[in-house]
Amino acid sequence: MITDTISDMLTRIRNASMVKHQIVQTPLTKMSLAIISILKDEGFIEDFEIYDKNKKKYLLVSLKYIGKSRNPVICKIQRVSKPGLRVYANSKKLPIILNNLGIAIISTSKGVMTNLKAKELGIGGEVLCYIW
């Protein structure tokens, strides 16, 4: 049984991009769906789709690569807040990743969003992960 589904999903994506796989399968949760949709909106992945297998739902994530050498778009993906140590940031102290070239995914009271959108709305929340 997996206790931290977010870190499991991020690890699957990290491992698959290191060995240059095209597709990653990960179990579907509301939080993983929200994170994957943000990654698609920000251009870190190609696409994703939901499918059923033996009455369980999964996400199929299509990873994105650049050039003929197939360099992954996701250089680093890091889990910040963990079940044993939650990390929160208020609206004034939201993280800035590589001078806004990367993103931090924040879970706020208004939903899951990037650090840029949370700063625009003036709200803080739990810092889930960094991606660049």
* Residues in Cβ contact with 8 at an 8 Å cutoff, skipping those fewer than 6 apart: 2, 26, 27
Contact 61, 23 (CB under 8 A): yes
Q: List, in sequence order, every residue forming a beta bridge with 62; answer none if it has no partner.
A: 23, 47
Q: Which two tokens stand for residue 77?
A: 């993906």
Closest CA to 49 of 38, 66, 33: 33
What pLDDT, on a 0 to 100 scale, did the predictor assign at position 96? 95
With contact defined as beta carbons under 8 Å apart, do 95 and 88 qualify? Answer: no
Q: With residue 16 as reference, give the H or E element that holds it.
A: helix 5-18
Tell me what pLDDT residue 117 has. 97
Summary mean pLDDT of the chain: 96
Domains of the chain: 5-131 (3.30.1490.10)
What's the pLDDT at 1?
62
With tokens 């001078």, the residue in question is: 99
pLDDT tens digit sequence for 46-58: 999 999 999 999 9
Q: Is the pLDDT of residue 3 over 70?
A: yes
Q: What is the pLDDT of residues 62-113, one digit of tens each?
A: 999 999 999 999 999 999 999 999 999 999 999 999 999 999 999 999 999 9
